[in-house]
Amino acid sequence: MQVSVVVCTYAIERYDTFSECVESVLAQTYEDLEVVLVVDGNEQVFERVREDFGDDPAVVVHCNDENRGISYSRTKGAEIASGDVVAMIDDDAVAEPDWIEQLVETYQETDAIAVGGHVAPDWESEKPDFFPEEFYWLIGCDERDFAEDGEELRNTYGSNISYRREAFLAVGGYDTNTGRKGDQHIQAHEAPVGVRLMREFDQGVVYNADAVVNHRLFDYRGDFRWLVKRAFLQGFSKRIFNVLYPDAPNDESEFLKQLLLRWIPSRVESLVRGPSLAKVKQLVAIVVFTGAVGVGFLYGHTKRKRTLIAEEPAPANS
């Protein structure tokens, strides 16, 4: 089984991080591997990528004619790829050496049409004491009690997800109404693919907890105001998702149920047993982030459905 790993990038400022990501993919223990590098319309970055990696026979390099966004770029990478499976990783992540080996093991042991793995947080500096593990999904990492090993989900996070290539392309790849494009960042662009795979093949994404990618979290991702804006964008994005896929299962309601009925009560109990400033901060952050998601969702409801997709929310700086 050949696997093609698609890595998309755009900004020259993140080139060193992108390069570290590519090196981690090239160092995989799994041998039947192709690496597809897609530069999203930045000629300066493309020339450097071609200089650094273009001579490697395992690497394919492509540059879009203009900045087309992450969803277009990942789908383009899958079209260019020749592997049986296409795996996706963000350009600010580093894969564990056996990442692909673990994904392939799941494909070989099951009839999975898609397999995802664990996205672990890798803080550039110290994790903020106010940040609650229930909201790691805000920054593209597995949150508290994300999934059981072997569980079938709608989707895992974009820095650690893979698909059988033919199935991925058969359902149209990523929806270009979602995902990052310049300053516009509509979240959760893996979810629409998962919905279409479920509709077409009646299968979701199988989670392998041992297939690990470390997602680098730059300092700005620990800024409280940035996180509140990010939460707002998540809510706005959920409204767009509902417009695009009105019949899709509502996984978010299960998260909210867990949050209100299980995690917040357990945190309050822990605070009573052993008070600390960090515990108070995290409870406050949970309330604020949840509220920001709700406001973003309601804001989306103020937009007419036919114009909602064209709406450009505030920059997410990511």
pLDDT digits (tens, 9 = 90+) for 31-67: 999 999 999 999 999 999 999 999 999 999 999 999 9
Band (185; pLDDT cuts 50, 70, 90): low
Three-state SS at 223: coil
- Which residue, among 296, 314, 11, has the nearest Cα to 183 in the 3D structure? 314
pLDDT score recorded for residue 316: 36
pLDDT score recorded for residue 183: 47
pLDDT score recorded for residue 314: 38
CB 74 within 8 A of CB 88: yes
The average pLDDT across 277-287 equals 96
Flag whether 11 is in a domain.
yes
Flag whether 247 is in a domain.
no
Q: Report whether pLDDT(295) > 80.
A: yes
Listed in sequence order, the residues at least 6 apart from 113 whose beta carbon sits closer than 8 Å to its beta carbon are 163, 164, 167, 197, 201, 203
CA distance 130 to 283: 8
Flag whether 142 is in a domain.
yes
The average pLDDT across 112-118 equals 97
Side chain identity at 297, as an amino acid letter? Answer: F
| % the chain with pLDDT above 90 | 75
Flag whether 246 is in a domain.
no
CA distance 233 to 216: 20
Task: Quote the strand ranges of the chain, DSSP E.
Answer: 3-9, 33-39, 59-63, 85-88, 93-95, 114-123, 152-153, 161-164, 179-181, 184-186, 205-217
CA distance 135 to 143: 6
CA distance 206 to 300: 31
Q: Report whether pLDDT(276) > 80.
A: yes
- Which residue, among 31, 29, 9, has the nearest Cα to 20 in the 3D structure? 9
Band (258; pLDDT cuts 50, 70, 90): confident
**The pair of three-digit structure tokens given for residue 149, joined into one six-digit string:** 């090993």
CB 70 within 8 A of CB 6: no
Q: Report whether pLDDT(177) > 90.
A: no
**Helix or strand holding residue 85 (H, E):** strand 85-88
CA distance 284 to 290: 10
pLDDT score recorded for residue 318: 36
Residue numbers of the domain that contains 35: 3-222
Flag whether 24 is in a domain.
yes
CB 73 within 8 A of CB 158: no
Three-state SS at 93: strand
Instruction: Count the domains in the chain.
Output: 1
In this structure, what CATH number is given to the domain that contains residue 80? Answer: 3.90.550.10
Flag whether 241 is in a domain.
no
Flag whether 202 is in a domain.
yes
Across the chain, what does the average pLDDT equal?
90
The average pLDDT across 154-169 equals 95
Flag whether 206 is in a domain.
yes
- Sign of the four-CA dihedral 146, 149, 150, 155: positive
Q: Report whether pLDDT(253) > 90.
A: no
